[in-house]
Amino acid sequence: MSGVPVLPERIETERLVLRRWSLADADDVLAYAADPEWSRFLPVPKPYERRHAEEAVAGWVLEDWSTHPDWAIEVAGRASGGINLRLNHQQRNAEMGYALARRHWGRGYMTEAARAVIDAAFASLPDLARIQAGANARNTASIRVMEKLGMTHEGTIRHAPRGSEPHANESGVIYAILRDEWSPITG
Ligand SMILES: CC(C)(COP(=O)(O)OP(=O)(O)OC[C@H]1O[C@@H](n2cnc3c(N)ncnc32)[C@H](O)[C@@H]1OP(=O)(O)O)[C@@H](O)C(=O)NCCC(=O)NCCS
């Protein structure tokens, strides 16, 4: 729709490139998504096969960028994860989701990617009031990322509707940051 501000399709950070998904990324996605430790808290098919990677990437490529921007995270030129926003322009809210290949965990990459996405979202969308994210209450790494971003724990959802076993009846946590609480990386 014309007149709706959109987020940049390519964002460069100190160590990462965030860019639109391409169908050619399916091999890279399969390489990390078939790892059961990677998908421990994610509602993805198990076992994760080539067709799942191809379907997922095709879905991300086809998404409407104005409401569902979804970036591949490139580490050293390879698609090594993804980060996305679900924008609700009417409610002035965005929900962020992310996942990174296990071989890259623990180096601050997702915090770096998420900071850049939050920065771009607040800069590009003047009406956006808040960005939230959710995680399984046992997903310590994801919760730590949200804390490092300066997000506030807003609540715990019991029997979180994750949509997939084996975590369908577990608790989920919701964190969020408001525009006024965000300190831009630049400017
Ligand atoms: C969650 C995830 C994206 C984090 O990515 P990452 O690049 O490793 O994150 P960062 O390095 O920026 O930060 C991770 C933090 O969690 C901490 N952490 C990781 N595992 C932990 C654990 N089991 N217990 C306590 N802290 C843990 C790290 O030490 C780090 O904190 P620190 O910087 O204070 O030391 C990654 O683990 C992932 O992709 N997991 C699988 C998919 C997933 O669960 N996605 C989120 C769904 S809500």
* 122 close to ligand 1 (CB < 6 Angstrom): no
Structural domains in the chain (count) = 1
% of the chain exceeding 90 in pLDDT: 87
Is the per-residue pLDDT at 187 higher than 50? no
Query: How far is the C-alpha of 123 from the C-alpha of 179, rounded, in Å?
Result: 10
Does residue 158 fall inside a structural domain? no
Does residue 19 fall inside a structural domain? yes
pLDDT score at 161: 66
Does residue 149 fall inside a structural domain? no
Closest protein CA for atom 21 of ligand 1: 141
pLDDT in tens, 70-104: 999 999 999 999 999 999 999 999 999 999 999 99
Closest protein CA for atom 24 of ligand 1: 140
- Contact 96/134 with Cβ under 8 angstroms? no
Rounded to the nearest whole angstrom, what is the distance from the C-alpha of residue 3 to the centroid of ligand 1?
37
Is the per-residue pLDDT at 122 higher than 70? yes
pLDDT score at 155: 96
Query: Whole domain around residue 31: which residue ranges?
Result: 10-131
pTM, full prediction: 0.96
Query: How far is the C-alpha of 60 from the C-alpha of 58, rounded, in Å?
Result: 5
Closest by Cα among 89, 82, 97 to 29: 82
Candidate of 74, 144, 151, 167 to mutate for ligand 1, largest count of ligand atoms within 8 Å of Cβ: 144
CATH code at position 93: 3.40.630.30
Rounded to the nearest whole angstrom, what is the distance from the C-alpha of residue 111 to the centroid of ligand 1?
9
pLDDT score at 184: 84
For residues 152-166, give the mean pLDDT: 77
Query: How far is the C-alpha of 147 from the C-alpha of 74, rounded, in Å?
Result: 23
